[in-house]
Amino acid sequence: PIPKERSGHKGPRLLLVRHGETDWNRDGRFQGQIDVPLNDNGRRQAKQCSDFLASVTIDRAMTSSMLRPKETAEIILQQHPGVKLQTTQQLWEISHGLWEGKLQTEIEEEYADELAQWQTHPHTVQMPEGENLDDVWRRAKDGWQEVLTAATAEEDGSTEPVVMLVVAHDAINKALLCQLVGWGTEEFWKFKQGNGAVSVIDYPNGIDGKPILQSMNITTFFGAGVLDKTAAGAL
């Protein structure tokens, strides 16, 4: 189960989920902003995540508008009928530019130095015709503000704190988590985000107070501990 909210909690709780597996995740192919759908295992992961969260009250939901997180969110919300799913482009995956659609071995042939840098010093890399981590950080910041605005908007006169599902991608989730704990782009690889993983973020004193990362990368409902078989840098 996810941790209980602390006594006196008066802000939103965000359940941050990474989308389920795609064929390109499985193969170690860089997908970035290519709109690859879930595969059968990814749908199964989303269903397992849905079962894990079935007893949790979910009031609102937002997802990256790309196929893989949107389908993950829709499967999770099957056990929460009536919750409207909002979408945003701010939470899209990093653009890998010319690396997208390629296997790591193919990228090594043409961009060996840049790939090695990406795996060790990601904050120094500009993706060819794509984004860098400063770009992703800016989008993550704007996207999270969009999430918090949606989580705190009054509906039907209610001012009760809400629980909101947020489904996105590996790199954008890493950027969000780094920002929540005050880390910069150079710390990018310190967070793991397995396919279908759940992280729990609380704002016990409201969104103007400090957030608390209650749990991170929960994948125990898959029955095999921390699952992150994504190739190094294949997002």
Q: Which residues are catalytic?
A: 19, 93
Residues 159-188 as b or e (16 or more Cβ within 10 Å = b)? eebbbbbbbbbbbbbbbbbbbbeeeebeeb
Q: Distance between CA 112 and CA 107 in Å, rounded?
A: 7
Specify whether the CB–CB gap between 103 and 27 falls below 8 A.
Answer: yes
Note the maximum CA span of the chain.
59
Question: Looking at the DSSP assignment, which residues form a beta bridge with residue 16?
Answer: 166, 199
Three-class SS of 111-137: HHHHHHHHHHCHHHCECCCCCEHHHHH
Half-sphere exposure of 223 (CA within 13 A, CB side): 4
* Residues 123/185, Cβ–Cβ less than 8 Å: yes
* Alpha carbon distance 57, 63 (integer Å): 17
Report strand pairing: 198-202 vs 13-18. Answer: antiparallel
Give me the numbers of helices (H) and strands (E) for the chain, helices first please. Answer: 6, 6
